[in-house]
Amino acid sequence: MASDAPRDHSVFVSAATAFADLVARIPATAWDGPGLGDWDLRALVGHTSRSLITVSAYLRAPADREDVTGPAHYYALMRGYATGSPDIVERGREAGRNLGTDPAAKVTDLLRQVRTDLDGAGDPLITVIGGLGIRLSNYLPTRVFELTVHSLDIARATGMDVGLPDAALHDATVLAAQIAALTGQAAEVLPALTGRGGLPAGFSVV
């Protein structure tokens, strides 16, 4: 697994940089406007910024066992933590408030910090939500997924264009299919992807 770590770092950093660049272009008048579901835009950006915060935090929390064997397995285990749950909604709002008066500058600082923390980090076992142990190389693709999906959410909410790295889009899309397969949703997703049917409103693999 360790041999894959440099590429994983690179894709994560590229997705995080695209997110920070997008946030830097958000108009001042948009922050209190709609974001996603129960989140206003500030909360949506705050939630997305946690993909930077958690990497830095978890690198300081080593694990002594590997409970999670891959990115799709991570999401399969996290299915109880639905995006719309009250805890997740409030955590996003709190993260939005923590962005302060200059959210773009705060996100840039978080990006700088996580890049510093990743430098020379290798591929350690880290402790994530629920006390689960996972390799960094298996955790970072989940953050690429979050950064990519939510950057698209932010662009949609603001009407802005976003240029996401091809590698991040590729990895996030492949991971979505892997999650569907691992969680018993492949029979619903595959026909939709091949033009043989649609998905129910609100359908999500996570």
Q: Are 73 and 66 in contact (CB under 8 A)?
A: no
pLDDT of residue 84: 54
Q: What is the pLDDT of residue 1?
A: 37
Cβ atoms of 183 and 79 within 8 Å: the answer is yes
Task: Please give the chain's pLDDT, 206 residues, in tens.
Answer: 333 444 569 999 999 999 999 999 999 999 999 999 999 999 999 999 999 999 999 999 999 999 999 999 999 998 865 555 788 889 999 999 999 999 999 999 999 999 999 999 999 999 999 999 999 999 999 999 999 999 999 999 999 999 999 999 999 999 999 999 999 999 999 999 999 989 999 899 98
CA distances to 20, 34, 45, 101 from 31, rounded to whole Å, are 15, 8, 9, 11
Q: Hey, CA dihedral for 105, 108, 110, 113, is it positive or negative? A: negative
Phi and psi angles of residue 134, each rounded to the nearest 5 degrees, phi first: -150, 145
Per-residue pLDDT at 8: 61
What pLDDT is stored for residue 80 in this prediction?
A: 61
pLDDT at 189 (0 to 100) = 95
Q: Provide the Cα torsion 148, 151, 157, 161; round to 10°.
A: -100
pTM value surpassing 0.85:
yes
